[in-house]
Amino acid sequence: MRHPSDYAILQVLPRLETGGVEQVVVELTEAVARTGARAFVASQPGRLVRAVERAGGRHVEIDLESRNPLKILAAARRLARLIRAERISLVHAHSRAPAIAARLAARRCGVPFVTTYHGAYGQRGPLKARYNAVMASGDRVIAISGFIADLVRARHGVGADRLRIVPGGVDCAKFDPDAVGGRRMEALARAWPLPDGAPVIMLPARLTGWKGQRVAIEALARMRHRDPILLLVGAAQGREAYRRSLVETIRRLDLVPRVVFAGDCADMPAAYKLADIVVNASTDPEAFGRTIVEAQAMRRIAIATDHGAARETIRHGETGWRTKPGDAADLAAALDAALDLPPESRLAMGEAARAYVAEFYSIAAMQNGNLAVYDELLG
């Protein structure tokens, strides 16, 4: 029988910066290392390189961001050398451009190839369709929600022999409201700053149009409650024109004192606990919607757009609410309803939300689901 240390798993992605996909890679690195197998991550470097190393993995710098065919071939050659040198047992791709190079290298070296379909991926025209198809070409294709599994079946014809559903997960020990002290919350409230006593509605997402910041701003203007603060947590990532357009909307609606641009936040558990309500107002369907699950783990009421994976991650009326896509009036009504709840009802909904996440969306379930896929291919 082979010892776990005889196995090595290589994950590939464009760059190890912050984000949901990148966090999954770190969490899977930790899971692989915990089994005794060797864990490798190939990508451009970024802020999460140290996190991979702390999780027990080794980072290898390879340019896997480019869509240039020549650079993809060069990356495939480097990956093949790495696979042979480190006796890699299985390659797991998390993004399209890296998946093209990784698939070439894995096939060349005769090792299993796994993909995780992390997004709905826009598909306009035959070239984009072919580009997306690489994410459905694995020996196993992991869908991060039932919504994505349905899309993969319909779009690519992937059958039950290869398709596996492994929902995203959240670390319920890290996202535990009982573990977040007052000092952490006070530090954020001072840094942003937030007025004392005002209800806080938080929308955690990078500043980009489809994440629905404009819908949330317009909902704030329509609310019956006139005292809440809308806290936008997330960086513009170069989209300064979009940020300026949001500021113009805020001024036009006379909401300047009531909308706070917080930028990136290094202490998201404290940010969630500081919020009364957490909103996901995405106008396009979310493949999973990690912030919805994190908020519920923190016993916060989550309100999300009624499409995509939100239909799985929120039990409407039990753990949160779902609202019509792009409908500011419907979102405003849900926000008012949440603020109208008596404290005991809000507490009960928060408890139900955390219990739901702990049962179905734990980080351990996500890690074990991926390891089970590896076991299928490696025996």
Phi-psi region of 193 (alpha: psi -120 to 50; beta: other; left: phi over 0): beta
- Write phi, then psi, for 86 (nearest 5 degrees): -100, 5
Opening angle at CA 332, ends 330 and 337, nearest 5: 95
- Write phi, then psi, for 250 (nearest 5 degrees): -60, -45
**What is the spatial order of strands in the sheet that 277-280 belongs to?**
259-263, 229-233, 200-204, 277-280, 301-305, 320-323
Tokens of 369: 């689901």
pTM (predicted TM-score): 0.90
Rounded to an integer, what distance in angstroms lies between the CA atom of residue 277 and that of residue 250?
20
The H or E element spanning position 294 is helix 290-297
Q: What is the pLDDT of residues 231-278, one digit of tens each?
A: 999 999 889 999 999 999 999 999 999 999 999 999 999 999 999 999
**CATH architecture of the domain covering 177-360:** 3-Layer(aba) Sandwich (3.40)
CATH 3.40.50.2000 boundaries in the chain: 4-169+362-378, 177-360
pLDDT mean values, one per 10 residues, the chain (379 residues): 85 91 96 97 96 98 94 97 98 97 98 96 86 96 97 96 96 95 92 91 96 98 97 93 98 97 95 97 94 96 97 96 98 98 95 96 96 96
Asked if 111 contacts 349 with a C-beta cutoff of 8 angstroms, the reply is: no
What pLDDT does residue 3 have? 75
Question: What's the burial of 290, exposed, middle or buried (CB within 10 Å: 0-12/13-18/19+)?
Answer: buried
**CATH architecture of the domain covering 4-169+362-378:** 3-Layer(aba) Sandwich (3.40)
Closest CA to 323 of 305, 296, 301: 305
Rounded to an integer, what distance in angstroms lies between the CA atom of residue 340 and that of residue 118?
36
Buried b (16+ CB within 10 A) or exposed e, 193-232: ebeeeeebbbbbbebeeebbbbbbbbbbbebeeeebbbbb
- Residue 229 has, within 13 A of its CA and on its CB side, a CA count of 20
The H or E element spanning position 350 is helix 343-360
**Beta strand extents in the chain (DSSP E only):** 8-15, 38-44, 57-61, 90-93, 113-117, 140-143, 163-165, 200-204, 229-233, 259-263, 277-280, 301-305, 320-323
Query: Pseudo-torsion of CA 153, 155, 158, 160, nearest 10°?
Result: 0
**SS3 call for 90:** strand
Helices 328-340 + 213-222 axis angle, to 10: 60
Closest CA to 28 of 127, 122, 94: 94
CA 333, 339, 343, 347 torsion-angle sign: positive
The H or E element spanning position 336 is helix 328-340
Q: What is the pLDDT of residues 157-202, one digit of tens each?
A: 999 999 999 999 999 999 999 999 999 999 999 999 898 889 999 9
What pLDDT does residue 1 have? 63
Rounded to an integer, what distance in angstroms lies between the CA atom of residue 205 and that of residue 278?
11
Radius of gyration of the chain from its Cα atoms, rounded to whole angstroms: 21
Closest CA to 354 of 118, 146, 178, 143: 178
Rounded to an integer, what distance in angstroms lies between the CA atom of residue 209 and that of residue 207?
7
